Amino acid sequence: MNAPVSAASVATSPVEFQACLDSQRRAYLAAPSPGAAERIADLHALGRLLIENRDAILAAINADYGSRSDIETLFAEVFVALGAAKATAKRVKGWMKPRRRRVDLMTFPGAHNSVTPQPLGVVGVIVPWNFPITLSVTPLVSIFAAGNRAMVKMSENSRHLAALLIEISPKYFPEDKLKFFDDDGSKGPAFSSLPFDHLLFTGSTRTGRAVMASAARNLTPVTLELGGKSPAIVGADYPVKTAAERILWAKMFNAGQVCMNIDYVLLPRSQRDAFVEHCRRLFAQRYPDLNGPDYTAIIDERSYARLTGLLDDARAKGATLVDLAEGQKPDVQRRKLAPHLVLDPTDDMEVMRDEIFGPILPIRTYDDKQEAVDYVNSHDRPLAIYPFTNDASTREFLIERVMSGGVGVNDAMLQFGQPDMPFGGIGPSGMGHYQSKEGFDTFSKLRPVFRQGPMSPIQMMFLPPYGARTRWLMNLLIRLKS
C-alpha cells in the first residue's frame, strides 16, 4: 500500500478526492481480502446497475455526444460490459486460489512454496469519453474480481453520464467500495497525483505520458491503455469486397472514435480502386441519411475542427480525398462529419502522423508483404494490427514480424469484446492488461509465500564458522545447479 499523502499533495487535491481515498483505504485495511462470495456479488451488482438503468444510460450518453447511435451504445457498452462481468464471475473463485510452485533444493520435505493473489487496495480509474461505460465498468470487473476498491474519474465530455453514475451507484455499492467523480476539465492532474495502489488510464498517448509522470511521484504503478495508428493489412489473396465490408463497418462505428480502430489501410496496389468503389457503394447502402440516428456525431467542436483540419492538410499536401457521403449534406451544427478516404497519403501529412479518432481512412498501397511490414515497423508500435488474409503463411508472417498490443484477423476491434482475452497495448500504445485472468493479476499482488518445514537445512549445514564440510556441500550444490 502506498504511503500516506504529504501535506503538500493534499493541498493540491480536491477535498472530495482525498476524503474518498481516506475512506476507501480505511475500509480496505479493515477488511483487506474479501472472499469469493463478496467479489461475485460485486460483479453481479455491476450487471444490475447496467440492466436496471439501461434507458437512462442510453439517454445520458446520447446527450453527451449530441447524437450517438443507440445500437452502437448497446452493443459496445452494455453488451460488452455485461459479458465481461458474467464471464469473470464464473472464474474468479479459481483465480483466487494460491498457485503452487516448485520447492528448491535448499529445503527439506515439508517446505511449501505458493504465489497467493491478494488485493492491492484502492485503484484509481481515469475514463475517456468515447466508450465511457465499457471503459469504466470493464476495468471495474477486473478490479472487483481482485478484491479492490475503486475511485473512477469520468471525462469532461461525459458530464450527463457522470451525473447519472454519481446518482445511481450508491444504490449498488457503498462509497467506500466504489465512487464516481465528475470532471469539468480541470481535475485530471489532481486525480492522477493521488497515491493510489494502482492507477488505470485510458486515453491518448500524450495525456498518458502526463498521467504516468504524475503517478511516478508516488511510485504508483500504472496500466496505460493508449491509442496509436493501428493498420489493416489486406493480403493479396483476400477478397477485396469482403475486406471493404468489414473495414468500413469498423471505421464508421462510433464515427471512428475508437482507440483500437483501423487508422489506415495497406492494400495491394492492384486492389485500391476496387476497394474505393466498394466503400462508396457500402456507405450509400448503410447510411442513406448521414444526419440520421445511426451515424454518430463527433464528440465536440474542438475534435470536429481537428478532423476537418486533417482533411485540409492532406488536400493541401497532394492527397486525393474521396467523400463517401457525396450528395449528402452533413449537419455541421450537430457535428456530423462526412467520412473520407485519403488516397496516397504521405508521412508529412498530419493524418499519417497522429491518431485520427474519426471517420477518416487513409489508404496506402504496397507491392509485397515485406514492404507493408517495413512501413508499419518504421512507426510506433500500434494498439492492434488487422491482417486480412486466408493464407496461413501470410497471417503468421504478419503476426510474427509486426509487434502490437493485440491482433484481429479478418475483422477489426472485436478482439476487445472477447471476455476471456486480455486487452492492452505495448510501448506508445500502452502498458499492462486488464480483462480476464490477466486483468485479475494486474490488480492483485501476486505474493510469493515460502513456508519452511519442520527442519531447516540452513541451521544444519550452513552455520558459521564455515569449515571444509560446508565448502564441499556448497560446491556440490553449485554443480547440481550447473
158 and 64 in contact (C-beta within 8 Å)? yes
The single-letter DSSP state of residue 382 is P
401: burial class by Cβ within 10 Å (0-12, 13-18, 19+)?
middle
339 and 252 in contact (C-beta within 8 Å)? yes
475: burial class by Cβ within 10 Å (0-12, 13-18, 19+)?
exposed
Q: Between the CA of residue 175 and those of 17, 20, 71, 235, what are the distances in Å?
A: 12, 8, 31, 51
C-alpha cell at 420: 476471456
User: In terms of Cα–Cα distance, which of 197, 235, 211 is closest to 121?
Assistant: 197
Other beta carbons within 10 Å of 15: 8
**How far apart are alpha carbons 213 and 95 in whole angstroms?**
32
**How far apart are alpha carbons 266 and 382 in whole angstroms?**
14
- φ and ψ of 185, to 5 deg: 105, -5
24 and 151 in contact (C-beta within 8 Å)? yes
C-alpha cell at 122: 484502492
Check residue 121 and give left, alpha or beta (phi > 0: left; psi -120 to 50: alpha).
left
**How far apart are alpha carbons 298 and 469 in whole angstroms?**
77
**Which residue of the set 225, 277, 371, 438 is catalytic?**
225
**Which residue type sits at 256?**
G
64 and 159 in contact (C-beta within 8 Å)? yes
- φ and ψ of 354, to 5 deg: -115, 160
277 is catalytic: no
**Residue whose entry in the numeric block shows the C-alpha cell 565448502:** 471
**Which residue of the set 20, 72, 77, 259 is catalytic?**
259
**How far apart are alpha carbons 95 and 67 in whole angstroms?**
41
**How far apart are alpha carbons 17 and 181 in whole angstroms?**
8
DSSP element (H, E) containing 263 = strand 262-268
**How far apart are alpha carbons 111 and 271 in whole angstroms?**
65
- φ and ψ of 384, to 5 deg: -155, 155
301 is catalytic: no
**How far apart are alpha carbons 40 and 176 in whole angstroms?**
17
What angle is formed at CA 362 by the lines to CA 407 and CA 233, rounded to 5 degrees?
30
C-alpha cell at 156: 469532461
Which residues are part of the catalytic machinery? 225, 259
